[in-house]
Each structure stands twice: as structure tokens, then as C-alpha cells.
Structure 1
Amino acid sequence: MKNIGRTVGIVTGLMFSAMSFADSDCPNTTYDSGYKKQLPVVGRDELIKTNTPLFANGKITCLIGLNYRKMSENEKLRIETGSFKNIKYRIYYTDGSGSIQGDKNSTLDTIKDLHVTNWSTGCKVDGMEDKHWCYIQKKDLMVGIWKDGKSFISIGSEHFPNSNIAIRIDQQTPNSASAESGFNRKQTTQIIEQLKSGSKALTRYQEWPYEQNKDQTIDLYGFAEAWEIINTVYRTPK
């Protein structure tokens, strides 16, 4: 009986140590509904490596829940939430994915925001070069920073061969380019400046296999702040 009691004590101590480590690694910790108390907590590899928030009023929280890819462990995700220039944001440190307020009524709540469209964010890493690129996206419009630090704009996907892409911000002169080569550097710089001060954008492209224009109107609420946020994410030490 003494041995059984000692064993239980050791197991309990190990579980407590694991929980204490998770809590100390992140002062703000929440557990989702899938969390399994009896399983270990394992941190995910992170693209964003910082122990301080990206922005002054940001809050880093650890979300711990079952790793559904393995089912034998809980995984820990670090997430920063806050507001930047009165625009709400949520960024995952694993890969820079997240959401930035794209509607004045948005709360960044999954359920409450069913009928609004926010700016989505993300970063990708080139496994051959260990270099990353990041972007923000809303509907068919993607704006980002390449591995070499240059900005880019992409409209739509699965373009019809030899077709063009185009964008018009408010009543400004439209910009167009080959879907294959994309906007040149001068166009990209000009378009981003217009996006930062504009209220809406009209995008156009032709999607395979339909050789007809596909237009979308995009509310530019929060674009300027979203662009600053993703640039900060891009520059943060990786």
C-alpha cells in the first residue's frame, strides 16, 4: 500500500510540474474543451519567437488543448490579442496566422462575426532557404511581403491563361497587369498607398476554366492598420 501511495504521489507530482511549467511559460493560460488532464502538454514550433507582445497593449495567452493530429498529447499555442490604433487583432505565434478587424462591427469572435469579413493573416516558410513571407487577405485581395522584403499584391487564384488582373480603389484610375507576371514595383507601391487611404476596392480577374470577369468589392476598413501589423510580424525575429 505504501508503494502504491508513493507511485500515486510521484504521478501527481509529475502532472503538477507539467501544469506549473505550462503556466509559468505563459502568465495567461486558457484550456479549451478538448484538453485532457492526464496527457502531457507540448509546445508547438513557432515562427514568431518573442516573449514580449508585438504591440504595446497586446496580451500573450497560451491556449492548451488536445493535439488532434496525435491524440496522445495536449498542444500549447501562444496567441497575441489586442488592438492597434483601435483595430482589434489576433495573431498565432506558430505561423503568423490570425485575424485583424475588417469591419467596424467586428469583434473577432468566430460566432458573432459570421456575417462580416475580416482581414486574415499568415506567413509561410521556404524550407529550402529558411526564409519567410507574410500576407494579409480579404476575399480575392492579398497584399504581402516577399522573402526579399519587397511588397506584392495578388488578386484571385487559378487564373485563366493569358488573362489580366485589375484593381480600382474608390474613383482612382484602375491598375491592371498580366495575371502571370503581376503588378510591377511602381504599381504595387501606388496601389498600397491608395489602399491605405481608400474606403473600398474593386478587384477583377478571370478564373479557370471560365473566360469571364470575376469582380468583387472589398471594404478597406482596417487595411492601413492591418498592413502595419503584418509588417511588424514579418520583421519580428524568427
Structure 2
Amino acid sequence: MNKLLILTMLIAGFAHADDSEQRAIHIYKDNNGSVLLTAREASDSNLTHVKSTYYPMESSVWHISCSKDKFNGSKKCSLYKNYSDFMVNYINGRLSVYVGRNHFPETQSAIKIDGNQAIYGHEGMSQTPQKVIEQMKKDKVVYTRYKEWPYKYNKDGETDLTGFAEKYDEMLEEYKKL
């Protein structure tokens, strides 16, 4: 396999996009023929753009993770997107929606779906998970807010809900099979 292609593939695994839905590897050559691979577009006039390759980000995919405890038989399924600030869980027949991680103690968290009214929780736990899920199944974007330790300022997130309703139903089916 071509060394440049291998190096491009390796760098693609480490390159992070800003807020777009894909990663990019940009290939440039300098006047001496040396090759530069970068995750950002270069503005150096001594470099000639050769090619840009775009890779979809893992964050645009919904993931389902299910397990059954071998000792006590408890069952759990989770639905999430990488790099998002919320997770839906179905644990022993009970639904939960969790916002954020590593919460600052005794702080409020919130989730807002499209233009609906914000739904508040305590340290990431929604008190009305079914209401949250019903809104998420119909709408397009979820906004999250919580305070992460050790800072006491708002950490906001935004996640596209495309495909959520289908994956949520799939998660419930996987749970039934456990």
C-alpha cells in the first residue's frame, strides 16, 4: 500500500473537525516537493493544494449498547452519539435520560428539544424521561446544559436528532432480546 495513503489514513483517525459533520485531510506540496498532510486548510502561499479527502465523523452515528448481568440478570441498553452530552438508558424496564458527565455537585441540568420548553433535572438526571423521549422522536435538535466539575459555569451542547426515533425503537427491541 502507498506510504502516503497509509499516513493519510492514520492522520484521518486523529484529525478532529470543528463543528462540521466530517473530518478532512488536506494534502499540500511545497516548492521542494515535500508533502504536508494537515487537518486544517493551509494559508501559506508557498504551498500548493494537491487534494482534500473528507471522512464522515463517528459523531453522526447513533450507537446502541446492551448488556445482561450474568450474576443477577439485570438488563441495560443505552443509546448515544459520540461527542454528545446526553444518553438514553433503559435499565431493568425503567427509562432514563442523562445529560452531561462529571457534574458539579448540587447543580441543575437541562435539555431542550427544538423550540419546546426546557426540561430540567438534577445533576444530569431528567425527572420526566418519557416526555423528553417523545419530543426527541418528533423533533430535529436537542440542546443540553449542565455544569461540569470543577467549574461552575454552563457547558452547552447541541446534537442532531436525525435517525433517533428509529434507533430508539431498535434499542427497545434489543432490550427485549436480552
Q: Normalized against structure 2, the TM-score is what?
A: 0.64
Secondary structure in 1 matching 2:168: helix
Q: Distance in 2 between matches of 1:114 and 1:196?
A: 22
In the alignment, which residue of structure 1 is the partner of 2:141?
A: 200
Map Cα deviations across residues 53-81 of structure 1 (whole Å, 9 max, x no partner): xxxxxxxxxxxxxxxxxxxxxxxxxxxxx
In the alignment, which residue of structure 2 is the partner of 1:230?
A: 171
1:71-110 paired onto structure 2 within 5 Å: none
Counting strand residues as a fraction of each chain, which structure ranks higher?
2
1:125-164 paired onto structure 2 within 5 Å: 125-138=68-81, 139-147=84-92, 149-164=93-108
Deviation at 1:115, TM superposition (A): 6.6
The reply to whether residue 216 of structure 1 matches residue 161 of structure 2 is no
Deviation at 1:116, TM superposition (A): 5.0
Secondary structure in 2 matching 1:192: helix
Map Cα deviations across residues 165-220 of structure 1 (whole Å, 9 max, x no partner): 1000011000001117x222xx2111110000011010011111111111011100
Deviation at 1:124, TM superposition (A): 3.4
Alignment counterpart, residue 183 of structure 1, candidates 126, 139, 161:
126
Q: Which has the larger radius of gyration?
A: 1
In the alignment, which residue of structure 2 is the partner of 1:168?
A: 112
Letter in 2 for 1:113: P
In the alignment, which residue of structure 1 is the partner of 2:56?
A: 113
Q: After the TM superposition, which parts of structure 1 deviate over 4 Å for at least 4 consecutive aligned residues?
A: none
Q: Distance in 2 between matches of 1:142 and 1:115?
A: 16
- Structure 1, unpaired ranges of 5+: 1-103, 106-110
Aligned-residue sequence identity (percent) comes to 30
- Structure 2, unpaired ranges of 5+: 1-20, 23-53
Pairs aligned (count) = 125
Q: Normalized against structure 1, the TM-score is what?
A: 0.49
Q: Distance in 2 between matches of 1:214 and 1:116?
A: 18
Letter in 2 for 1:132: K
- Identify if the C-alpha distance between structure 1 residues 127 and 211 changes in structure 2 by more than 3 Å, giving closer, same or farther: farther
